[in-house]
Amino acid sequence: MDLRVGGKYRIGRKIGSGSFGDIYMGKNLISGEEVAIKLENVKAKHPQLAFEARVYKALAGGLGIPFLRWYGQECDYNAMVIDLLGPSLEDLFNYCNRKFSLKTVLLLADQLLSRLEFIHARSFIHRDIKPDNFLMGVGRTGHLVHVIDFGLAKRYQDPRTNFHIEYRENKNLTGTARYASTLTHLGIEQSRRDDLESLGYVLIYFCRGALPWQGLKALTKRQKYDRILDKKLGTSVEALTRGLPVEFADYMTYVKSLRFTDKPDYIYLKKLFRDLYVRQRFTKDYLFDWSIYKFKLKHPGLTKGENDTQTDEQQQQQQQQQVQQAISQQKQQQLQQQDQQQPQQQAQPQPQLQQQAQQPQQQPQQQQSQPQQQLQRDSVQQGLNSDVHMYPMYPDQNNQMSKTPSTQQKPVRNISSPGLKMNIHSSAAKDADYSQFNNPSNETPKVNKWL
């Protein structure tokens, strides 16, 4: 039976379920493009699809926000058609044996913070932050994280007056208990701080493979929520982030210190993880763990089991060697040109009488040219050394380029590594979030331009 919505979208197989309704693969019968179709029974006790469609419209144009193609009612169902995306972070987490490397977690953290910053800037909070609601794109957007499932989203302020919602208590738990903030468990109205605390739990979950309050058993859902809350309250930030870089503890401490109406400092939070990324000397190649893992499965003989940090350091060393070799070749060419020009500058053969007459004058000149030539060699060699060490391959912790004093300073162009051109999706594409990481021009890199 050929089921259609919107007149041109044919419903295919079921591919998932959201907080309210099921999701199916669909196809645009006119263009042939594949889409995702979310259906909700019109007799649902708490219909949410119409509200979710309005949220997608309000967030339209944001990076990592699926495009709403159509919404309406077909027979006994409300239907919403959006972009078809790739696997969720939870699916990829399982694919990678339930552990992400620090590099992948930091790449995801920067994108996820940017997504929440945009959603909050449009006066919404998500209220159901979890790996299942973050999907990677497909094709050219395969490196981008997308946010879905806004069925539980809520306006936290009036977009016209910026008036914040009122503080309330005795609220029911909204969201997923595993990643919910402690204040949400306590029945306090959610705001921006709660989205960020949930994101912190997600990042720690990716680093550790599990959270301390997973696997707790109880007879009822209410009892299970209470046990999870007790475990969260009994787990300090220090214990939760033990063994992880200090930035994760700083992140959790900051978001837990926010008041109900406080606007989070997204720049500070992103800088925490960006500085850590630079300090770890990770390359910006968009090679997530699932891409590397897939490559190792396809080409086991080409991999030796090094971790991502070692691979990145080797790539950076190769880049530095290429820069040094290029500069060395250039300076050696200049030296050779000077050596070739020296005999050409000598006088042409003259009659014997003139040579004898000029011989006393030529000898001092020849004696004088030797120290000048040696001085030129020394200056070229000094310039060679200064150019090679002018800019280190890695910025320092303050995200600034430290320079070695030199009499003739010329910016050295960074030779970027092409990386591995393999993917589940197109991991070689560039994200607007990281457009400032590389400096393709010959200009000196500017301070505070990361990724």
Structure confidence at residue 385 as a pLDDT band (50, 70, 90): very low
Q: What angle do CA 390, 396, 400 make, to 5 degrees?
A: 70
Higher-confidence residue of 227 and 402: namely: 227
Give the lowest-confidence range in 46-55, 57-66, 408-417. Answer: 408-417
Is residue 128 part of the annotated active site? The answer reads yes
The percent of the chain in helix, strand and coil, each rounded to the nearest 5, is 45, 10, 45
With a pLDDT cut of 90, the percent of the chain lying above it is 59
Residues of CATH 1.10.510.10 domain(s) within the chain?
87-299
Q: Is the pLDDT of residue 34 over 50?
A: yes
- C-alpha–C-alpha distance, residues 153 and 148, integer Å: 10
Give the mean pLDDT of the chain.
Answer: 78
* Catalytic annotation, pick one of 128, 149, 195, 308: 128
Compute the distance between CA of residue 199 and CA of residue 185 in angstroms, rounded to an integer.
16
Structure tokens at 159: 């977009």
Supply the pLDDT for residue 300: 57
The pLDDT score that the predictor gives to residue 222 is 93
φ, ψ of residue 246 to 5 degrees: the values are -60, -20
Dihedral sign from CA coordinates of 147, 148, 152, 155: positive
What lies within 8 Å, CB to CB, of 71 at 6+ separation is: 49, 50, 53, 78, 79, 80, 81
- What's the burial of 16, exposed, middle or buried (CB within 10 Å: 0-12/13-18/19+)? middle
Structure confidence by residue, pLDDT tens digits, 216-259 = 999 999 999 999 999 999 999 999 999 999 999 999 999 999 99
- Out of 3.40.190.80, 1.10.287.3510, 3.30.200.20, 3.40.50.460, which CATH number does the structure's domain 10-27+34-83 have? 3.30.200.20
Residue 143 has pLDDT above 80, yes or no: yes
- 154, 125 contact by CB (below 8 A): yes
8 Å CB contact between 349 and 423: no
Please list, in sequence order, all residues whose beta carbon lies within 8 angstroms of the beta carbon of residue 411, skipping any fewer than 6 positions away: 390, 391, 442, 443, 444, 445
What pLDDT score does 309 carry? 43
- To the question of whether residue 38 is assigned a binding role by annotation, the answer is yes
Residues of the chain with CATH 3.30.200.20: 10-27+34-83
**For residues 200 and 172, what is the distance between their CA atoms, to the nearest angstrom?**
22
Instruction: Specify the pLDDT at position 17.
Output: 79
Q: Are 123 and 102 in contact (CB under 8 A)?
A: no
Query: Can you give the length of the chain in residues?
Result: 451
Residue type, 297: L
DSSP string, 244-289: S-HHHHHHHHHHHH--TTPPP-HHHHHHHHHHHHHHTT---S---H
**CATH classification code of 87-299:** 1.10.510.10
The C-alpha atoms of residue 400 and residue 404 are separated, in whole angstroms, by 13
Q: pLDDT: is 369 or 188 the higher one?
A: 188
Give tens-digit pLDDT for 342-361: 555 554 544 444 444 445 55
With contact defined as beta carbons under 8 Å apart, do 125 and 153 qualify?
A: yes
* Residues sharing a CB contact under 8 Å with residue 180, sequence separation 6 or more, in sequence order: 173, 194, 198
